[in-house]
Structure 1
Amino acid sequence: MRLPGATAAGLLLTAAAPLTTGAVLEQEAAAARCAAFASATFGEQVRLTATRHVPAAASRQGPNAAAVTLPSHCLVSGVIGEREGAGGKKYGIGFELALPDRWSGRFLLQGGGGLNGSVRPPTGPVAAGDRPALARGFAVVSHDSGHTGAVFDDSFLVDQRAALDFAEASVRTVTLLAKEMTRAYFDAPIARSYMTGCSTGGREGMLAAQRYPELFDGIIVGAPAMRTGNSNLAIEYASVQFNQAAPRDAEGLPLVERIFSPADRKTLLGGMLEQCDALDGLADGMIANVAGCRFEPRRLQCTAGKAENCLSPAQVGALERAFAGPKDSAGYPLYAPVPYDTGIVETEGPIPGYLPTGRPGVFGPASRALEIDLDSRANALRNTAWQRLTDTNYWTNLNTFLGRGGKILFFHGVSDPWFSAFDTWDYWQRAAETNGAAWDNASRFYMNPGMPHCSGGNAHDQFDLLTPLVDWVEKAEAPGPPVSRRASDPQDQRPLCAYPSYPHYIGGKRTEATSFECRRSVQ
């Protein structure tokens, strides 16, 4: 469609130069154009609730990120498919679309998190380093996936349409509408389309490549929540294993807070570093050679009675079973192993490490269960329709997406306590087997040592995958190792190597990326 009063002279980007920044509009003209957009219509199912011009301003894109200046843009808010659903609750897909005054011709869908339920500011921060997509001139849209509520509020599942929108449909619905709106606003075609997301947003990115292969040219998938039934089962299984190593109260129940003392955690961290730290050529408190690490908890076991500098046989056994992951009675793995990494011993932060503390954390409220029936739980998972809808672990045939020239980059923090980085790597390998050389020419996987879920930790957790993704899609330039930085010290840098390669220290200043080279781990 064409906006009321829109003319070719008012375009921010001409079709003749789709990948270059258009002429700068004066603020008054940009604001007027944004105001005019409020009267645009996009069918009976779409209602625009607010349209305002936002001046350029500094913004912080996350707790670990530096402030960045976001450009002036038109911010459009709206809802798709408003209705009264189950229980008389109001439903509809809420969205916000940011349309920069200086448009690059690119479009980006921003993935969600948790169970969604809110519309996050549409800036495109995931894996974009210190320049979110909006700051690069992308048109960016975000959405709530069809319901409102707290990040882990699942009450919307009683409504069929809301459940379907969360599971898959909202990705396509929002993308198609936002693309139509972007084309209408600029009165020009979209040159390239992208998507980025972590956690639920990572699952949504996988879903897009698998089920809607024509939507995007490039996708970044971070720590995907791709089969939460299985990952939750693995966490419950691990909880039971750890509880079996706990001292007991007068009723014989485990004292969860006493499973691993501060001294035990220090012993475990020291043991991991002793066995695996220097495998990357530098003993620096990080395990960069993830594929080469073969940590053996049994080497920390006390030879006599329990002491502060060693682990009990019960603790060692619990670690070995929990980190190996659950298997059914036939020996079939129900989830991937969990990596041994430095972040597993953490007790603080928004998401504590993998070891239980007795407080709510990755294991939820402290459980004192001592048994789990894996066969019955696995059977229940196989027969749950919700799992079939939301899982993105199984579909690996991506020949339509790849055939269109699509590119997809994966990243995962090795210390992620919710979703195992090895599970995502397993998917990547199976996709490689299915798609052959086309996969090698379209995808990379990056492990980030020390990083928990999506960001943070003792890690170089600030990195830009969006630039190499765009260059791969638009210039056919395969990505080299991006530089990753510490949020606390941006001058401390490492190359982010495509797994199973890792950054090996070759000499020089330890905080400079050029002091490392990517080497393939010897398996």
Structure 2
Amino acid sequence: MTFFRASHSDATLCCGAAHMRRRLRRGSGDSDMLGLRLFGLILGGLTAIAAIATPCAATPCSNLQTLALEHTTITLATDITSGVFTVPGSNPAQDITGLPAFCRVAATIAPTVDSAIKIEVWLPASTWSGRFLGLGSGGFGGYYDYGGLAFRLKAGYAVAYTGLGTGTSGCTVHYCGSDGNKGNALAIALGDRATPSLGLYGHPERITDFGHRAVHLMTLRAKEIVQAYYQQSATRAYFFGCSTGGHSGLMEAQRYPEDYDGILVGAPAYNRTHLYATTPLGWRNTHATPGRQMQAGQMSLINKAVLAQCAGRDGGVATDQFLNNPRRCRFDPKVLQCTGGDVPPACLTEEQVTTMQNYYAGTVDPVTGERIVPGFAPGSETEDLSAKGIMLKQQLPEPLFDGPLYWVYGPTFGQPGSAVNYTNFDIHRDLPAVEAMLAEPLNATSSDLTAFRERGGRLIMYQGWADELVMPQNTIDYFNSLVKFDSPSFATRRGDEAQVGADVAEDRFGGDHVRAGLQRTLSYARLYMVPGMYHCGGGPGPNAFVFLPALQDWVENGTPPGSVVATKYVNDTAPDVQMTRPLCVFPKIARYNGRGSTDDAASFSCVEGGHRHDHGPHDEQ
């Protein structure tokens, strides 16, 4: 007689054996002896099976498979003890090695019938620090950052990640709605599908998931999984993300202030409607005529001219290959306009000068004069396509990251000749429709972080000065909005509000009310500007740094962070160090002391510096 099959799960075997013990122990009289003999035969069979099977007891991890969570289906809960994780779907197989033993949990959260928010939670088996970390996604999500999960797992965090619920709509990092790649090799490499797609058009609940709900629900469910696995809550909760992840971090601080104790965000694309609405204008800047496009080598030409004029006059040193404080540089690309017998690419045509002037100027409403987005900073010019700047965008068949405009207008947005499309999009005429649909679910523009601050929340922001995707001034503008909100005159003396607003907009922190607002903001939020760094990393400047330990020290010990040392590695690869520089708490900047190695952060001090973008290089020296 066969009582159990070896193909049954280990948990079934153990539960079956325990059940048999309970049944046999209920017997009496002669049946007891028969039962004991029978149990002996069964136990011997189980012992033989155990010799060739994994341990039969259900683990704290596998038990999570049946954990009941609101609107959530746990699809996987498994122990990984080999130290190796093979990235699902990778071909050839991509292995992440050197991992501690951990429990991997995957789940799908469906707060609405049209939602499918996929999350992963990785839980260290024996190396847990007691902290929980939520990770932010990039671009339009739709993927898992397994490398990020692994890196933070090794640091002892119980860590969670979500693809923001956009994978159901076929979104990729760069595209969530497009007219198709049209055979363009760069668009294909960036993940643009061959045929038109509508992204989240007609799916308002998925737009809400992408905007803020996915990260919030990931956080709630992950904390519950942590509690169930460890039988205790995390002592502290932190969040880290850049770009879209930075936007998600600000959403958490603004809308869900109880989710996290500390939030670290990079290049936070917080005013999404304004940024998305200007993507067609940036594309048209180089597509208005064939002569408006930049030729190979010309961005390097411009960058060299910028450095020749401004490097060393902005707190850095003349040999820097980046600007230390680009707002101290007033550069006009017209100085490179072709004269005499000069021809491109050794100089710029009049049309190319216009392209670059628009690049630095940003976007304003042509009717009202309202600034929609600031321009990009001098010193950000590069030939590197990975920076996602002019040299990449001008080679694409339609604007990069214009997907959300398809969410508003549908398929006609990709069809030139239609009423509103990427070739005729007008900021004054069309931005209101974009804001009417997308501002509420997508914009993280609130400067009221009172609830976050009062419960002890701490926020660190950072931004690369050479970012060609999120304008550096954009992040400064958000920090300044916090200072304005925190200023006494804004909160209690409305009569001075206009002056306070003007002072903060120009980074004038000398007035009593503005200075008081700055000090209050610095008590819970700090901004670091990173010289020479592209979008979330890379670039010629010191682009390797660590903020999480400083954030933890601030949250757990009450120690506000000061300057942080950033490193530039040779070829951006550790361990060979090319240079180090201090990243200063804004509005301070790093300034060379005049002695010591210019490659050593110790030779620089954080000082009050010039702040207005339109200052000349000689101002406020």
Name the TM-score class by shorter chain: 0.7 to 0.9
Asked if structure 1 preserves the Cα contact closer than 8 Å seen for 2:65 and 2:77, the reply is no
Q: 2:541 corresponds to which letter in structure 1? A: A
Distance 1:221 1:345, change over 3 A: same
Who wins on radius of gyration, i.e. which is larger?
2
Match of 2:328 in 1: 292
5 Å-filtered alignment, 1:219-368, equals: 219-244=263-288, 254-255=289-290, 259-279=293-313, 280-282=315-317, 283-304=319-340, 306-308=342-344, 309-328=346-365, 329-342=367-380, 344-349=381-386, 351-355=387-391, 358-360=394-396, 363-364=399-400
Residue 414 (structure 1) shift: 2.0
Distance 1:522 1:361, change over 3 A: farther
Deviates most, 479-488 or 136-145: 479-488
Distance in 2 of aligned mates of 1:510 and 1:498 = 20
Deviates most, 277-286 or 325-334: 277-286
Match of 2:465 in 1: 414
Corresponding residue SS for 1:519 = strand
Distance in 2 of aligned mates of 1:43 and 1:488 = 43
Residue 355 (structure 1) shift: 4.7
Distance in 1 of aligned mates of 2:273 and 2:480 = 21
Match of 1:502 in 2: 589
Asked if structure 2 preserves the Cα contact closer than 8 Å seen for 1:354 and 1:362, the reply is no
Distance in 1 of aligned mates of 2:74 and 2:401 = 41
Q: 1:434 corresponds to which letter in structure 2? A: F
Distance in 2 of aligned mates of 1:333 and 1:39 = 51
Asked if structure 2 preserves the Cα contact closer than 8 Å seen for 1:508 and 1:515, the reply is yes
Determine whether 1:374 maps to 2:427.
yes
Q: Deviations over 1:412-453 (max 9, x none)?
A: 222222211111110110111112343111111122222222
Distance in 2 of aligned mates of 1:521 and 1:44 = 51
Residue 306 (structure 1) shift: 4.7
Residue 339 (structure 1) shift: 1.1
Asked if structure 1 preserves the Cα contact closer than 8 Å seen for 2:464 and 2:530, the reply is yes
Q: Deviations over 1:330-379 (max 9, x none)?
A: 2111112221224x232433x44335674229943999988763311333
Residue 401 (structure 1) shift: 0.3
Corresponding residue SS for 2:103 = strand
Distance in 1 of aligned mates of 2:423 and 2:206 = 36
Match of 2:76 among 50, 64, 67: 50
Match of 1:397 among 448, 464, 476: 448
Q: 2:327 corresponds to which letter in structure 1? A: A
Distance in 1 of aligned mates of 2:397 and 2:600 = 35
Q: Deviations over 1:125-177 (max 9, x none)?
A: 8xxxxxx4322211111112224233233534433432222222122212111
Distance in 2 of aligned mates of 1:480 and 1:473 = 14
Match of 1:118 among 140, 143, 149: 143
Asked if structure 2 preserves the Cα contact closer than 8 Å seen for 1:35 and 1:51, the reply is yes
Distance in 1 of aligned mates of 2:542 and 2:119 = 32
Asked if structure 1 preserves the Cα contact closer than 8 Å seen for 2:131 and 2:236, the reply is yes
Aligned residues: CA RMSD: 3.2
Distance in 1 of aligned mates of 2:604 and 2:574 = 18
Corresponding residue SS for 1:262 = coil
Residue 232 (structure 1) shift: 3.2
Match of 1:195 in 2: 239
Distance 1:55 1:238, change over 3 A: same
Determine whether 1:166 maps to 2:210.
yes
Q: Deviations over 1:435-480 (max 9, x none)?
A: 2343111111122222222112223222101010000111111112
| Structure 1 residue ranges without an equivalent (≥5) | 1-27, 62-66, 86-90, 126-131, 245-253
Deviates most, 351-360 or 421-430: 351-360
Residue 505 (structure 1) shift: 2.9
Distance in 2 of aligned mates of 1:51 and 1:122 = 19
Match of 2:103 in 1: 74
Distance in 1 of aligned mates of 2:99 and 2:601 = 28
Residue 288 (structure 1) shift: 1.3
Match of 2:176 in 1: 153
Corresponding residue SS for 1:463 = coil
Deviates most, 361-370 or 325-334: 361-370
Deviates most, 399-408 or 410-419: 410-419
Q: Percent identity?
A: 29
Distance 1:356 1:164, change over 3 A: closer
Give the aligned length. Answer: 466
